[in-house]
């Protein structure tokens, strides 16, 4: 990769452009936690994007001895392909559509609004499952460390960042085990710092390729990990 790394991107140069650098999400969390050592026992808070970001973030929060929370965000799926999306909805109701993609999809306004509504309901259900009725934490006097298991397009992460800004986060850093170079360039426009252990570029990119063992994280598993890691005795 010949690109010059901006000063607010922190990486592991020895891992650049390599595949299968993490055994699993726990190992990935350990690597990223080392990079985040300056945040140890500070006023920072780790916020995981469920579901895949939770096991990574739980390790980071434990290693840094700082609180763990969740920032629930979900992509708005295409009616004919639940693996692909054209926007995202965050826990505070923030909605962002992919303005470059939407005009090419042929969706009606009614279909788009229906997709937004269904996704908003999914997000509310997930928030309830993870956090119950507890209010979202006050971030106005603390740094937010936003964590996922990887960054492909980065669209969902951008929506999460907007929601955290709305929640008054003083500073936000994105912390991810692996990410595509173009997505990272978008992130640095929106946050103070991006920590990415394994930066990769090229036309073909999959988050899973950074992991030796990769399985989807079920929602129930993510909730269980979060509740264990966020219990008072775990901090």
Kindly report, residue by residue over 100-127, the tens digit of the pLDDT.
888 888 888 899 999 999 999 999 999 9
Q: Class of the 9-72+132-234 domain?
A: alpha beta
| Pairwise CA distance, residues 167 & 157, whole Å | 15
pTM listed for this prediction: 0.93
Residues in contact with 136: Cβ distance below 8 Å, sequence separation at least 6, in sequence order: 69, 91, 92, 167
- CATH 3.40.50.2020 boundaries in the chain: 9-72+132-234
Contact assessment for residue 65 and residue 41, using Cβ atoms and an 8 Å cutoff: yes
Q: Count other C-beta atoms under 10 Å from residue 41's C-beta.
A: 8
H or E segment and range at residue 232: none
In this prediction, residue 1 carries a pLDDT of 47
Q: Report pLDDT for 106.
A: 85
Q: What is the mean pLDDT of residues 204-216?
A: 95
């Amino acid at each position: 990769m010949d690109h010059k790394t901006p000063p607010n991107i922190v990486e592991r140069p020895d891992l650049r452009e390599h595949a299968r650098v993490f055994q699993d999400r726990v190992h990935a969390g350990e690597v990223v936690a080392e990079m985040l050592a300056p945040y140890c026992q500070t006023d920072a808070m780790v916020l995981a994007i469920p579901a895949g970001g939770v096991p990574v973030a739980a390790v980071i929060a434990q290693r840094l001895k700082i609180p763990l929370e969740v920032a629930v965000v979900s992509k708005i799926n295409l009616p004919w392909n639940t693996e692909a999306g054209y926007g995202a909805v965050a826990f505070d109701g923030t909605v962002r559509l992919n303005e470059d993609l939407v005009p090419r999809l042929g969706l009606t306004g009614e279909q788009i609004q229906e997709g937004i509504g269904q996704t908003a309901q999914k997000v509310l259900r997930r928030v309830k499952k993870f956090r119950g009725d507890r209010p979202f934490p006050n971030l106005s006097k603390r740094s937010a460390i936003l964590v996922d298991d990887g960054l492909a397009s980065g669209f969902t992460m951008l929506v999460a960042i907007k929601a955290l800004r709305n929640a008054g986060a003083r500073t936000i850093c994105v912390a991810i085990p692996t990410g595509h170079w173009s997505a990272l360039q978008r992130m640095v426009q929106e946050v103070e710092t991006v920590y990415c252990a394994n930066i990769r570029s090229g036309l073909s990119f999959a988050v899973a390729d950074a992991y030796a063992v990769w399985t989807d994280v079920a929602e129930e598993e993510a909730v269980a990990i979060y509740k264990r890691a966020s219990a008072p005795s775990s901090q």
